């Protein structure tokens, strides 16, 4: 798939030019919203062909992005009608739970362990999910799948959460903090995966993202402060990484102060 080829290109570019010791590969987070750039000189049929190809590849987010670009570019074109048809089908695919998703995630974890790759399960902890019972079930599931790490991320008002009241309140943060401390410090939990919770440190020593110690590259190759604080500052394939990182550091994290030890 073309999206996969882009990921490979970005990974090779970063490995060759950036002093990174760790590259983490994962699926698109809920916040992700790919940007489809209409190729220079493209006709309506060219863009529509991309919509069809992405849809056939089951890259529904990309198909939707291309269909949206077509609608903005030619609101009254004949291709718009077919584009809208694909937009509807993509929205239906993206809005419903696919029972195979759980199976694919588990298979990915198992296959990664078989070739000695470290496995980390990422959890976007929403208000409704945050209870001690749910968190303990999640970490034991991670252990069952052979994961060495569980990463807890806090939701932000971007992507499908745009305009929604998803910011965690103090009571939710307290539950996550207690869970994080217990799993990592209680000797009875030594056989469980290590839990990382960036929000814990961010509230105490500042944020390590935004080019400080890490950054986020989406499947379009665009550079952001982190998966849930998206603000495009450049593209890993075509722009200077040094300039993009410098700009990112200047802007900083939109939620927390930047770590002062950078």
Asked if the model's pLDDT at residue 207 lies above 70, the reply is yes
- Cα–Cα distance, 93 to 200 (Å, whole number): 35
pLDDT at 9: 62
Least confident of 6-10, 26-30, 69-73, 239-243: 26-30
pLDDT at 223: 84
Asked if the model's pLDDT at residue 31 lies above 50, the reply is no
User: Within a 10 A sphere around the Cβ of 114, how many other Cβ atoms?
Assistant: 9
First vs last C-alpha separation in the chain? 38
| Rg value, the chain, Cα | 20
Q: What band does 11 get if pLDDT is binned at 50, 70 and 90? A: low
Q: Which two tokens stand for residue 157?
A: 């008002």
67's torsion region: left (phi>0), alpha (psi -120 to 50) or beta?
alpha
pLDDT at 30: 44
Per-residue pLDDT tens for 166-184? 888 999 999 999 999 999 9
DSSP3 helix / strand / coil % (the chain, rounded to 5): 50, 10, 40
What are the residues whose beta carbons fall under 8 Å from the beta carbon of 129, sequence distance 6 or more?
123
Determine the average pLDDT of the residues in 88-102: 68
What's the sign of the alpha-carbon dihedral 15, 19, 25, 29? Answer: negative
Contact 167, 130 (CB under 8 A): no
Domains and CATH numbers, the chain: 1-21+207-262 (no CATH), 44-95 (no CATH), 100-205 (3.30.110)
pLDDT at 39: 80
- Cα–Cα distance, 256 to 254 (Å, whole number): 6
- pLDDT higher at 100 or 25: 100
Q: Which pTM does this prediction carry?
A: 0.62
Asked if the model's pLDDT at residue 88 lies above 70, the reply is yes
pLDDT at 56: 85
- Cα–Cα distance, 67 to 51 (Å, whole number): 6
Determine the average pLDDT of the residues in 16-42: 61
β-strands 120-124, 149-153 pairing: parallel
pLDDT at 216: 82
- pLDDT higher at 101 or 107: 107
Nearest to 137 by CA among 127, 148, 129, 126: 129
Per-residue pLDDT tens for 57-70? 878 788 888 888 88
Is 236 exposed, middle or buried, given 0-12, 13-18 or 19+ CB atoms closer than 10 A? buried
- Cα–Cα distance, 217 to 56 (Å, whole number): 25
């Amino acid at each position: 798939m073309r999206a996969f080829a882009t990921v490979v290109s970005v990974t090779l570019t970063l490995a060759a030019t950036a002093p990174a010791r760790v590259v983490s590969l994962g699926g698109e987070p809920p916040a992700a919203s790919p940007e489809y750039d209409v190729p220079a000189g493209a006709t309506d049929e060219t863009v529509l062909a991309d919509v069809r190809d992405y849809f056939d590849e089951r890259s529904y987010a990309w198909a939707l992005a291309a269909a949206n670009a077509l609608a903005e570019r030619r609101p009254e074109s004949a291709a718009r009608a077919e584009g809208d048809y694909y937009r509807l089908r993509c929205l239906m695919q993206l809005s419903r739970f696919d029972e195979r998703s759980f199976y694919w995630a588990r298979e990915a974890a198992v296959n990664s362990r078989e070739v000695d790759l470290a496995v980390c399960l990422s959890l976007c902890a929403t208000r409704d999910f945050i209870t001690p019972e749910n968190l303990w079930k999640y970490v034991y599931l991670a252990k069952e799948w052979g994961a060495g790490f569980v990463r807890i991320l806090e939701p932000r008002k971007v992507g499908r959460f745009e305009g929604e009241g998803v910011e965690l309140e103090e009571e939710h943060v307290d539950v996550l903090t207690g869970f994080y401390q217990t799993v990592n410090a209680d000797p009875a939990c030594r056989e469980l995966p290590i839990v990382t919770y960036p929000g814990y440190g961010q509230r105490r020593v500042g944020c390590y993202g935004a080019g400080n110690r890490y950054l986020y590259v989406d499947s379009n190759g665009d550079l952001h402060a982190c998966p849930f604080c998206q603000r495009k500052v450049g593209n890993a394939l075509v722009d200077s990484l040094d300039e993009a990182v410098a700009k990112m550091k200047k802007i900083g994290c939109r939620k927390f102060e930047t770590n002062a030890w950078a």
